[in-house]
Amino acid sequence: MRSFEVKNRTSADDIKSLRLVTAIKTPYLPDGRFDLEAYDALVNRQIENGADGVIVGGTTGEGQLMSWDEHIMLIGHTVNCFGGSIKVIGNTGSNSTREAIHASEQGFAVGMHAALHINPYYGKTSIEGMISHFNCVLSMGPTIIYNVPPRTGQDIPPRVIQTVAQNANLAGVKECVGNDRVVQYTREGIVVWSGNDDQCHDARWNHGATGVISVTSNLVPGLMRELMFEGKNSSLNAKLLPLMDWLFSEPNPIGLNTALAQLGVVRPVFRLPYVPLPKAKREEFVNLVKQIGREHFVGVKDVQVLEDDDFILVSRY
Amino acid sequence: MRSFEVKNRTSADDIKSLRLVTAIKTPYLPDGRFDLEAYDALVNRQIENGADGVIVGGTTGEGQLMSWDEHIMLIGHTVNCFGGSIKVIGNTGSNSTREAIHASEQGFAVGMHAALHINPYYGKTSIEGMISHFNCVLSMGPTIIYNVPPRTGQDIPPRVIQTVAQNANLAGVKECVGNDRVVQYTREGIVVWSGNDDQCHDARWNHGATGVISVTSNLVPGLMRELMFEGKNSSLNAKLLPLMDWLFSEPNPIGLNTALAQLGVVRPVFRLPYVPLPKAKREEFVNLVKQIGREHFVGVKDVQVLEDDDFILVSRY
Amino acid sequence: MRSFEVKNRTSADDIKSLRLVTAIKTPYLPDGRFDLEAYDALVNRQIENGADGVIVGGTTGEGQLMSWDEHIMLIGHTVNCFGGSIKVIGNTGSNSTREAIHASEQGFAVGMHAALHINPYYGKTSIEGMISHFNCVLSMGPTIIYNVPPRTGQDIPPRVIQTVAQNANLAGVKECVGNDRVVQYTREGIVVWSGNDDQCHDARWNHGATGVISVTSNLVPGLMRELMFEGKNSSLNAKLLPLMDWLFSEPNPIGLNTALAQLGVVRPVFRLPYVPLPKAKREEFVNLVKQIGREHFVGVKDVQVLEDDDFILVSRY
Amino acid sequence: MRSFEVKNRTSADDIKSLRLVTAIKTPYLPDGRFDLEAYDALVNRQIENGADGVIVGGTTGEGQLMSWDEHIMLIGHTVNCFGGSIKVIGNTGSNSTREAIHASEQGFAVGMHAALHINPYYGKTSIEGMISHFNCVLSMGPTIIYNVPPRTGQDIPPRVIQTVAQNANLAGVKECVGNDRVVQYTREGIVVWSGNDDQCHDARWNHGATGVISVTSNLVPGLMRELMFEGKNSSLNAKLLPLMDWLFSEPNPIGLNTALAQLGVVRPVFRLPYVPLPKAKREEFVNLVKQIGREHFVGVKDVQVLEDDDFILVSRY
């Protein structure tokens, strides 16, 4: 069903060269709807600081908490406003093949440049089932496959990737298993993005990864750009590791959501089941900002420690 | 929730000057999904022939047979591929205020330039209810209100329009009640588009209408452009009237769907409850094409009389 | 897809004998969700006062303002709690054939005894299209077809009914065109329910109608029972006519919603685009209750005139 | 929003005493829709063989591949047809709190006796987030919490259960972590059902579990009844273990789906991403049936080895 209009003609090769892709945060209004103004500002910061692409509605962007119409709308919005400046990769994956097909058709129809696909988490399936699942969506357009066993409960083994890599639409793999797996794929000519911020420097400079699909770059896009583009830089990497550790002290995007609220760039609104980090961790963040330098973080307001009462948790939206 | 990005900054004034807006047909694949390739070709013919805008998912485009996610996707697709060349007006109206609000938010988020809003058909409401309904959506962006009592069962009386016209987002009215009503509004400074192809020439040149929101222009965009832009032309109008009569011999878009299939520009696929015109009427169309001239119609294939078996009617999709 | 379990085996004949069917009101909580406690009380009053059936999510019950999942849930709830005491007829009609099919499958799956189907309003279609539309759903179970041109913009002509009556699942017609049409159908052996409260006495006792699908019975179920079961009673009919006139002074269910709120049996919550009747009409209602007798109306609280501020109008829910 | 009608008054205590609950298979028609006739037959076999309850749309029933309206419909259908004979527990859990709330409201509204709730899989959350998530739904009615880290990627630690157990609606826990955890909970007075068929005998007879929520009972309900109700029976347990091993040789419900198709009680239709077990495993199943005895399995047809071509895999439905 894909349109042939020129705006839809991104190729897998265009995607393969992306080095810094940000899994962009979705900010909310107090009633839980999307805060598009805040979102636009976040995307603009990514563009200004040199990110090549954004993942829309990834796990970081809380695609798992969106209805599909919200999700596709956000992809369409991002393409419309920013598609000329940055690659827009829609997380149209699902543990339901039907949903993955439908969402991917719609995402490509509204102009996303590539799809991110996960293996069927929670419900899981066999190796043959995984391959069938990915083959149902690969024909639609450029595709990145995402492997994150701590979330899905099931590793995508290399033979699945090797099989589906026969389809020219496979742009590559977002791999969270570690740098041994990164090496294995890159030796086989399969493009890899590290899915672990704390490993991405080594993945890129020592193990052949093309780049990173990053959470941390929501906060410090310029530094992550430097880390991915300017050559080995162990001292910068070391400087960022405490921030990365902090970010992942609870399941992502809990840390990121807390951080962006304290930086004053998003309203302190959480869609449940996410809740803010506790106060002690919120105080730690302010110290991390000071250590790294406020000027490297997005936003211009002073970073502050929010109180419990400052946060709005929404369950119906 | 509207984004402030430059691509979303169309004003009501930008909409007020549109003269030829086509209520574009939605073509289907044999399984009932959208045929985006055929759709893109139809939109390109409108752009080439000088239409100023398209209504996406109007009654002509069978918005009433779309799920909302299909509908918003089609708006987003049209904006993405063609929004730089033609104004994209999404029919995000509904007889449910909740749906009209949600769809309009989403439509503006994916970049539509204006919304088309209907009064609550079928369920109907009081005058106060109508005003409340329109006021819920007018704040979101440029809006055209659509009055078509033979479909809705209820006229939008002028005092409703006069009341909501206090909102600067009201671009104008698509009016099907007739040219007396057109005159009344244009004298009051309210922009009107004729919603009746057979009255649009007189509406434009004798009664102050700005233009037309047209069904016929799906077939003969160049001639409709001439009719709306090149001054009074009673002979051209008279030449087109038999085609218009034919198009509306059954509820629109039955005639249009049949015609476009016979012109070879869309697959002969109907979503129920629409079914093709009977064979005698299909033969009439071929004669109408010959009288007006094949070269004025969209597409390049010979017009043909389709057989009953050529049509595919889909009920689940 | 219909199950054969005994609970799903209602036949069209079981439906044909219903004489007083109430198009039941859907009450809301202040946030716009269904108020099931109030709903249950309303249905219990119908059962106690001798109604034979309820239409769930009709135009009176504001099916047009429900999402389909709400709609099917309400049908399932009604069947579960009350299906042993009263026939549950789900309004699973739509102007989209796809939606009508899907909703009817689901409604029968959750146990509704019959479906109510409307012709495609707003979008409209040809006679052949109407017949195709109804034939898509008639195979699923007992069906009542609803003809109300002032809402749909299009009469269902007798030849459509005569054609679809060949399907044994057609239980009959809810007819709002008037008693001449009622006579025509009953002479042909087609079961008819009057869809106009103010005509139902004559329809039943003079023109062969089986009964009524009533709005007024939401308020005075016992009196409507008497009107339909106890023989001609012109004085009772005359006594009720002012109430009926009042109820339909604005499009239904505006009057009914206002009345039930003032009777204290539902919260004064309106889903837009419905708004309460103005104060003068609200005062009239209190007088009508006094004239007819409070004891004939549902509820036990004193009837009161609500103030404008007492009403909650919800647009997002 | 819960109704107070008597049919909705199941208490947590009613649920706590269930000993054999079957996570019932959802069978499909060749186009992927539910096969309600086959489903009804499966549920009737459970009732006849003494199961106390069914989980509707669990991971075994492929709730993860259902749209929510399908899911609620199936719950409503099961309640309507079988709710008087067996407890109906709807899997209205989700990794999205919003969805879990909405589905649980709807499930209770259509009469389910209890809800099954999972912690937020895939997206995951903090301990505080988990507690907030469960607290959002516990007020609605009797609830079983389901802990299955190999699917969710995250254990529900005892302190979460201990916290939410303060709500009287917590009926208990379906626990897959193992019998040490079972012991811990039962000592604290928390009801536990084993979620692992191969451990359930010991869980029940040695470790204090109330019973099992079983996959295997879809195949041999009578034997599982015996295992749970008739006292320690190591030889029966040993006899069933090879079947259980076979069933879980690939992620459930792949084995179950394959088995039921070969027993001739469901059509051999798979919704992707599930695909049948390979032929060698299908042959093994026939041998297992012979060893255990065909008469203990559901259905009356001869068990057969299906060929690859016999299976229908559906991706759009």
| Active-site residue (options: D146, D274, D279, D290) | D146
| B1 pLDDT higher than 80 | no
Neighbours of chain A (3+ CB pairs under 8 A): B, D
Classify D293 in phi/psi space as left (phi over 0), alpha (psi -120 to 50) or beta: left
pLDDT tens-digit series, residues B233-271? 999 999 999 999 999 999 999 999 999 999 999 999 999
Tell me, rounded to whole angstroms, the distance of Cα B127 from its chain centroid: 25
| ipTM of the modeled complex | 0.97
Q: What percent of chain C has pLDDT over 70?
A: 99
Six-digit token pair at D146?
A: 């389901």
Q: What angle do CA C317, D2, D3 make, to 5 degrees?
A: 115
Give the Cα separation of B267 and B312 in Å (integer). 9
pLDDT at B8: 77
Q: Which residues contact A8 (CB under 8 A, 6 or more apart)?
A: A2, A108, A111, A141, B80, B81
B-C contacts (CB, under 8 Å): 143
Give the Cα separation of C170 and C190 in Å (integer). 9
- Closest partner residue to A5 (CB to CB) among B40, B105, B110 is B40
User: Quick one: average pLDDT of C262-284?
Assistant: 98
B contacts of C121 (beta carbons < 8 Å): 121-122, 153
Contact yes or no for B122 and C96 at CB 8 A: no
Helices of type H across B207-312: 221-229, 234-247, 254-262, 279-292
Contact yes or no for D250 and A122 at CB 8 A: no
Helices of type H across D5-93: 12-16, 36-48, 68-82
Among C81, C145, C88, C140, which Cα is nearest to C118's?
C145
Is the separation of the CB atoms in B108 and B12 below 8 Å? no
Is the separation of the CB atoms in D4 and C41 below 8 Å? no
Q: Chain D interface, mutation test: which of C2, C10, C69, most D Cβ atoms within 10 Å?
A: C69
Burial class (CB in 10 A: 0-12, 13-18, 19+), C307: exposed
Three-class SS state of B204: helix
A5–chain D nearest CA distance, Å: 25
pLDDT tens-digit series, residues C80-120? 999 999 999 999 999 999 999 999 999 999 999 999 999 99
Is the separation of the CB atoms in A210 and A12 below 8 Å? no
The residue type of B289 is: V
Q: Chain D interface, mutation test: which of A1, A28, A118, A121, most D Cβ atoms within 10 Å?
A: A121
pLDDT tens-digit series, residues C134-167? 999 999 999 999 999 999 999 999 999 999 999 9
Give the Cα separation of C284 and D62 in Å (integer). 56
pLDDT tens-digit series, residues B281-305? 999 999 999 999 999 999 999 999 9
Contact yes or no for B69 and A74 at CB 8 A: no
Three-class SS state of B262: helix
pLDDT tens-digit series, residues B84-105? 999 999 999 999 999 999 999 9
Contact yes or no for C1 and D33 at CB 8 A: yes
Neighbours of chain C (3+ CB pairs under 8 A): B, D
- Closest partner residue to C69 (CB to CB) among D33, D37, D106 is D106
Contact yes or no for D151 and A59 at CB 8 A: no
Contact yes or no for C81 and D3 at CB 8 A: yes
- Closest partner residue to A110 (CB to CB) among B34, B37, B80 is B80
Instruction: Supply the DSSP string of C275-288, one letter for each residue.
Output: -PPPHHHHHHHHHH
Contact yes or no for A317 and D129 at CB 8 A: no
**Residue C188 DSSP symbol:** T
Give the Cα separation of C173 and C184 in Å (integer). 12
Three-class SS state of B1: coil
Q: What percent of chain C has pLDDT over 90?
A: 97
Alpha-carbon torsion (A58, A62, A67, A73), positive or negative:
negative
- Closest partner residue to C315 (CB to CB) among B136, B250, B317 is B136
- Mind listing the pLDDT tens digit of every residue in chain A (317 residues)? 567 787 778 999 999 999 999 999 999 999 999 999 999 999 999 999 999 999 999 999 999 999 999 999 999 999 999 999 999 999 999 999 999 999 999 999 999 999 999 999 999 999 999 999 999 999 999 999 999 999 999 999 999 999 999 999 999 999 999 999 999 999 999 999 999 999 999 999 999 999 999 999 999 999 999 999 999 999 999 999 999 999 999 999 999 999 999 999 999 999 999 999 999 999 999 999 999 999 999 999 999 999 999 999 999 98
Six-digit token pair at B208?
A: 């102050």
pLDDT at A2: 65
Give the Cα separation of C18 and C15 in Å (integer). 6
Q: Which residue of B has its CA nearest to C134?
A: B273
pLDDT tens-digit series, residues D189-219? 999 999 999 999 999 999 999 999 999 999 9
User: Quick one: average pLDDT of D44-55?
Assistant: 98
User: Quick one: average pLDDT of C298-307?
Assistant: 98
Q: What is the mean pLDDT of chain B?
A: 97
D contacts of A313 (beta carbons < 8 Å): 132
For residue B3, name the pLDDT band (cuts at 50, 70, 90): confident
Q: Chain B interface, mutation test: which of C275, C279, C281, most B Cβ atoms within 10 Å?
A: C275
- Closest partner residue to A273 (CB to CB) among D62, D120, D277 is D120
Q: What percent of chain B has pLDDT over 90?
A: 97
| D1 pLDDT higher than 60 | no
Helices of type H across D18-169: 36-48, 68-82, 97-109, 127-138, 149-152, 158-164
Q: Chain B interface, mutation test: which of C64, C101, C135, C137, most B Cβ atoms within 10 Å?
A: C64
Q: What is the mean pLDDT of chain D?
A: 97
Is the separation of the CB atoms in A260 and A304 below 8 Å? no
Among D286, D287, D250, which Cα is nearest to D270's?
D250
| B228 pLDDT higher than 70 | yes
A233–chain D nearest CA distance, Å: 32
Contact yes or no for D76 and C79 at CB 8 A: yes
To the query of whether residue D174 is one of the catalytic residues in this protein, the response is yes
Instruction: Supply the DSSP string of D169-234, one letter for each residue.
Output: TEEEEEE-S-HHHHHHHHHTT--EEES-HHHHHHHHHHS---EEEESGGGT-HHHHHHHHHS---H
pLDDT at A6: 74
For residue D6, name the pLDDT band (cuts at 50, 70, 90): confident
User: Quick one: average pLDDT of D123-145?
Assistant: 98
- CA B217, B223, B228, B231: dihedral to nearest 10 degrees? -170
A-D contacts (CB, under 8 Å): 144
- Closest partner residue to C126 (CB to CB) among B101, B133, B254 is B254
pLDDT at B86: 98
Is the separation of the CB atoms in A102 and A44 below 8 Å? no
Q: Which residues contact B204 (CB under 8 A, 6 or more apart)?
A: B19, B194, B210, B211, B212, B227, B228
pLDDT tens-digit series, residues B25-64? 999 999 999 999 999 999 999 999 999 999 999 999 999 9
Contact yes or no for C111 and D76 at CB 8 A: yes
D contacts of A123 (beta carbons < 8 Å): 59, 62, 64-65, 151, 251, 273
Contact yes or no for A273 and D62 at CB 8 A: no
Give the Cα separation of B119 and B153 in Å (integer). 10
For residue B2, name the pLDDT band (cuts at 50, 70, 90): low
For residue D3, name the pLDDT band (cuts at 50, 70, 90): confident
Q: Which residue of C has its CA nearest to D108?
A: C77
| C303 pLDDT higher than 90 | yes
B157–chain A nearest CA distance, Å: 34
Contact yes or no for B315 and C101 at CB 8 A: yes
pLDDT at A81: 96
Give the Cα separation of D289 and D62 in Å (integer). 24
**How many other C-beta atoms lie within 10 A of the C-beta of residue A149?**
14
A contacts of B39 (beta carbons < 8 Å): 3
A contacts of B85 (beta carbons < 8 Å): none
pLDDT tens-digit series, residues C17-54? 999 999 999 999 999 999 999 999 999 999 999 999 99
Give the Cα separation of A142 and A167 in Å (integer). 10
Contact yes or no for B8 and A81 at CB 8 A: yes
Give the Cα separation of A64 and A271 in Å (integer). 11
pLDDT tens-digit series, residues B180-214? 999 999 999 999 999 999 999 999 999 999 999 99
A contacts of B105 (beta carbons < 8 Å): 33
Burial class (CB in 10 A: 0-12, 13-18, 19+), A84: exposed
pLDDT at C24: 98
φ/ψ (deg, to 5) at C116: -105, 130
Six-digit token pair at A181?
A: 């797996």
A contacts of D96 (beta carbons < 8 Å): 64-65, 273
Which of the residues of B are catalytic? 146, 174
pLDDT at C1: 57
A contacts of B77 (beta carbons < 8 Å): 3, 76, 109-111
Task: Indicate the helix (H) or strand (E) that contains B25.
Answer: none
